[in-house]
Structure 1
Amino acid sequence: MKRSGFTLIELLIVLSLLGALLGALAQVLASSRVAQEEASRRAALSDALSLFASILSRELYLTGYRVGEGAISIDLSQERLRGAYLCEPEMEAYCFRTGRHEFAYWREGGRVLWSACDGSPGCALPQGEPVLGGEGGVEVVHYRVAYLSGGTWTRANLTSLPQGGIESLAVYVLARVPSRREGLFRPGQEVGWPSGLGLSTLGLDGAALSGRWVWGERLILVQTPNLRR
């Protein structure tokens, strides 16, 4: 008599093979999902850095326009960069209203904050608002400021324009967002540094960073024609 169907052993073998295939497929799908999440986080971090660079560049370029006292100052305790410029009627897209406009950027609690006021030199700045960090899990790890004067990049406290004025300003930002993958990142590798400026100038050593993070960095270079003498 001819046997029909499967024996118990054959059935167990088929189920084992099927289980192994399903396990491998689940692992591939999970790995793909993690990769997609990381790519999404990296894109979001890049967008946040680009938006910050655009906002900051606009104000730094205008810094010093038709103002004397208090055109710029730098306080390294919080990397607080403070500047001022005159907002004329055709420039209202860049400031609150016509007249003197003062602003400041500084790092606090893993975020870069921004504040602005108008009026007399040294006007009281209101509480800062975050322009980078906090939203979407973004954490600002480093925010450093330097200026180019007389052909030399310098990172130092500044209360007034140095002799010869300022040719350019540089702001370096390193930020991160949580990741489900362990990663290694070496600061400075994604930046095109101008001659004479590097991580060491900004007081950073460039040591490799590790952990479950997606990293992003940006060097914002802005010429400052209104700060030259």
Structure 2
Amino acid sequence: MKVISKQEYTELMEFIEPHLKDLWNHKNKERINQEKEPLNIFQFGFSIVDIYNYKIDADTQFYMIFNSTFLRVIYQGIQNALQEYPDNFGTGNASDVIEALYNVSGYKRFGSIEDYIQFLTDHLCCYIVYRENGIFSDNILRVDLLRQILPSKDNDAKNDFVGGLLHTLKHFSIDNQNLSTGIYVHNIFDIHHLMYLIAMSFRLRTGEGCKYKAVQELSDGKMLAFFYYYCPLNFF
């Protein structure tokens, strides 16, 4: 991992900004069709210190462009919630995890837990952009922290994370403590390392239409990742 130069930063921002504007417009059209309020805030600029660059080989590299609040959640928020509310994790109920995150977030000063959920859904994300032989790939991966919370198919009294990093985290743990709703014990170094693995697997994806998957060989097993193509844009 390396810090990018000012020139790289300028090139990256000039590349991604029009793609993000297209995404914003498309999302708002969808929201209007669903009779929801359009998003009046959408992030186009990112701090250079929140961008991580990894070189795969002489020709290929990728950038992880983080929303700063997304970074705070994966570095501090989830860990603080695990420490203060350990019983809210591994319960099979997304509402328990959200309650713990909300309680440690400081968001109570700004709104209700429902407002907090909407904030996480609308704004917290990371973009993965590949660059090969100096050319940026138009296929961009957006990793949302939270996509949806829906009633559990197995238990009407519980809710599930559907899509997003909080869904993925149910399959992983740190120090044998599950990071979301699951009961699995698959220890990772930290959540940022998982984001790195997701970014690496994006390069290996195969599929057609809107559904793609990738299998990545790790030192102690295999990692299976699924990606959904966001038609008609070049976002996954």
Task: Please confirm whether the aligned pair reaches a TM-score higher than 0.5, indicating the same fold.
Answer: no
**Higher Cα radius of gyration:** 1
User: Which structure shows the higher helix fraction?
Assistant: 2
Higher relative contact order (CA 8 A, sep 6+): 1
* TM-score using structure 1 length: 0.29
